[in-house]
Amino acid sequence: MKIAVLAGGLSSERDVSILSGSKIAEALRSKGHKVVLIDIFMGCEEEVCDIDSLFENNYDFTDNAVIGREAPDIEAVRKSRKNRSSDFFGDHVLDICKAADVTFLGLHGGEGEDGSVQAALQLHGIKYTGSDHLGAAIAMHKGVTKGVFLNSNVPTPGSRLYKREFMGEGYLDSWNIFPCVVKPCSAGSSVGVQIVADRESFVAAVGAAFRYDDDVLVEEYVKGREFSVGILGGKALPVIEIIPKSGWYDYENKYQEGATEEVCPAELDPKIAEKMQREAEHAFEMLRLKVYGRVDFLLDQDNRFYCLEANTLPGMTPMSLLPQEAAAAGIPYPELCEKIIELSLKK
Ligand SMILES: Nc1ncnc2c1ncn2[C@@H]1O[C@H](COP(=O)(O)OP(=O)(O)O)[C@@H](O)[C@H]1O
Ligand SMILES: [Mg+2]
């Protein structure tokens, strides 16, 4: 097959995406596919006469994949592109996708995960992997996700949504549960997430979160263990436990090698694991997601679990959570990438 793998873009998860995209491209090539890997925003700034020859030559257009301790400087990336137009898609990106049999979304966060790219590709008649634009948009917004969870009985921590436009004297007084977790609604990879213990730090954290987003979700803090459940073809994979060696599962603990221990299958009462898997499938369905994704959970000391969110384009390096879960279910990484394509072409 001719496959375009899209990575990079303008989200705070840009670096992670370039690593996912490179690994996906490498795996698909190992299965004999012709793959062009391209940064969706940077595009191909060289002269391209024959797109087919790019596939024949398995062309790579992205930067080297290196994940720093902190999220990248997106303004610097934006300025570094030669093409100064307001077009999100870089030069030749859509032409390359149109020439492919399918486009694999190796993107994370931002326009790649919020449904914008999905909607644009669909209108261009381009087939792509994963959820459609509606599910992606719902799952990307933590406040909207919360509404779906509450309407469909998915257990989730108590919360409140704050909007920047209403911010003013007394607006935050309605929250009085501490500790709590403050999150920009549409970020990811824990970017902008803060766990706070008192009102003063809460007010500061909400102010900081408004720098990332117009909408901020405040949640009751759940003390306990953290798990995630990957979904493939609507069915749950084995549960994985996430154990940061210090602190909580923030950006650094997510991506610095060795910072977090992952156990899959999780050491968990089989009845609870099974319930969590069914709840993950239910949440996935209610959020209108398709093909694959990952649903995050916390388990408190009384064995009650809470669903935090769903990720429509979860990390896809071989060491990422969902690929580890697939491996535990007997699906090696290259087969997982092919399976995602196969399911996406049928959706
Ligand atoms: N209610 C909560 N109680 C305790 N920890 C939380 C809570 N919500 C989030 N966290 C911590 O913050 C991390 C990021 O939160 P999450 O809602 O999954 O957003 P992101 O999209 O950034 O992954 C979680 O993996 C977890 O470690
Ligand atoms: Mg998460």
221 lines ligand 1 (CB under 6 A): yes
Give domain status of residue 139, yes or no: no
Q: Across-strand partners of 263? A: 241
194 lines ligand 1 (CB under 6 A): no
Closest residue by CA, ligand 1 atom 19: 190
Percent of the chain with pLDDT over 90: 88
Are residues 239 and 189 part of one domain?
no
Give domain status of residue 166, yes or no: yes
Where is 103: in which H helix or E strand? Answer: strand 102-105
Give domain status of residue 326, yes or no: yes
Are residues 68 and 50 part of one domain?
yes
Strands (E), the chain: 2-7, 34-39, 102-105, 159-163, 180-184, 194-196, 215-220, 224-232, 235-236, 240-244, 260-263, 292-300, 305-311
Name residue 90's amino acid: G
Using the predicted structure, report yes or no on whether residue 64 has a pLDDT greater than 80. Answer: no
pLDDT band per the 50, 70, 90 thresholds, residue 46:
confident
Ligand 1 pocket mutation, candidates 308, 320, 322, criterion most atoms within 8 A of CB: 308
Domain edge (last residue) among 185, 220, 255: 220
193 lines ligand 1 (CB under 6 A): yes
pLDDT band per the 50, 70, 90 thresholds, residue 302:
very high
Are residues 253 and 177 part of one domain?
no
Mean pLDDT of 224-241: 98
Nearest ligand to the CA of 196 is 1
Are residues 62 and 87 part of one domain?
yes
User: What are the pLDDT digits (tens) for 162-199?
Assistant: 999 999 889 999 999 999 999 999 987 788 899 999 99
Are residues 175 and 84 part of one domain?
no
139 lines ligand 1 (CB under 6 A): no
Domain edge (last residue) among 220, 236, 263: 220
Widest Cα–Cα separation across the chain: 63
pLDDT of the residue at 69: 75
Using the predicted structure, report yes or no on whether residue 255 has a pLDDT greater than 90. Answer: no
15 lines ligand 1 (CB under 6 A): no
Could you tell me the residue range of the domain that residue 201 belongs to? Answer: 158-220
CATH of residue 298: 3.30.470.20
Give domain status of residue 143, yes or no: no
Closest residue by CA, ligand 1 atom 14: 190
Mean pLDDT of 275-293: 98
Q: Across-strand partners of 307? A: 297
**What is the chain's alpha carbon radius of gyration, rounded to the nearest angstrom?**
20
Are residues 262 and 209 part of one domain?
no
Distance CA(267)–CA(279), nearest Å, equals 18
Phi and psi at residue 198, to the nearest 5°: -145, 170
14 lines ligand 1 (CB under 6 A): no
Domain edge (last residue) among 176, 205, 220: 220
Nearest ligand to the CA of 193 is 1
Using the predicted structure, report yes or no on whether residue 232 has a pLDDT greater than 90. Answer: yes
Give domain status of residue 140, yes or no: no
For the sheet containing 34-39, what is the strand order? 34-39, 2-7, 102-105
Residue in 238, 178, 234, 237 with CA at minimum distance from that of residue 203: 178
Are residues 193 and 266 part of one domain?
no
Using CA atoms in the order 138, 144, 148, 151, what is the torsion angle rounded to 10 degrees?
-160
Are residues 271 and 212 part of one domain?
no
Sign of CA dihedral 199, 201, 202, 204: positive
Are residues 173 and 119 part of one domain?
no
Return the residue matching tokens 């007084």: 173
Are residues 314 and 232 part of one domain?
yes
pLDDT of the residue at 246: 94
pLDDT of the residue at 148: 98
CB atoms within 10 A of CB 198: 10
pLDDT of the residue at 257: 86
Closest residue by CA, ligand 1 atom 1: 221
User: What are the pLDDT digits (tens) for 81-109?
Assistant: 999 999 999 999 999 999 999 999 999 99
188 lines ligand 1 (CB under 6 A): yes
Angle between helices 142-151 and 270-286 (to 10 degrees): 110
Mean pLDDT of 149-155: 98
CATH of residue 82: 3.40.50.20
Percent of the chain with pLDDT over 70: 99
Closest residue by CA, ligand 1 atom 2: 221
Full DSSP string of 115-138? SHHHHHHHHTT--BSS--HHHHHH
Give domain status of residue 113, yes or no: yes
Q: Across-strand partners of 184? A: 216
Are residues 243 and 196 part of one domain?
no
Q: Across-strand partners of 220? A: 180
Distance CA(216)–CA(183), nearest Å, equals 6
CB atoms within 10 A of CB 182: 25
Distance CA(215)–CA(303), nearest Å, equals 31
213 lines ligand 1 (CB under 6 A): no
User: What are the pLDDT digits (tens) for 193-228?
Assistant: 999 999 999 999 999 999 999 999 999 999 999 999
Would you say 104 and 90 are in contact if contact means Cβ atoms under 8 Å apart?
A: no
Give domain status of residue 135, yes or no: no
Using the predicted structure, report yes or no on whether residue 65 has a pLDDT greater than 90. Answer: no
309 lines ligand 1 (CB under 6 A): yes
Would you say 180 and 218 are in contact if contact means Cβ atoms under 8 Å apart?
A: yes
Q: Across-strand partners of 181? A: 195, 219
Using CA atoms in the order 43, 46, 49, 51, what is the torsion angle rounded to 10 degrees?
-30
Distance CA(139)–CA(64), nearest Å, equals 29
CATH of residue 166: 3.30.1490.20
Using the predicted structure, report yes or no on whether residue 333 has a pLDDT greater than 90. Answer: yes
190 lines ligand 1 (CB under 6 A): yes
CA of 284 to the centre of ligand 1 (A): 18
CA of 48 to the centre of ligand 2 (A): 39
How many domains, in total, are found in the chain? Answer: 3
Mean pLDDT of 332-341: 98
Distance CA(131)–CA(148), nearest Å, equals 17
Closest residue by CA, ligand 1 atom 15: 190
Ligand 1 pocket mutation, candidates 181, 189, 191, 194, criterion most atoms within 8 A of CB: 181
Are residues 110 and 97 part of one domain?
yes
Q: Across-strand partners of 278? A: none
Give domain status of residue 206, yes or no: yes
Distance CA(57)–CA(41), nearest Å, equals 21
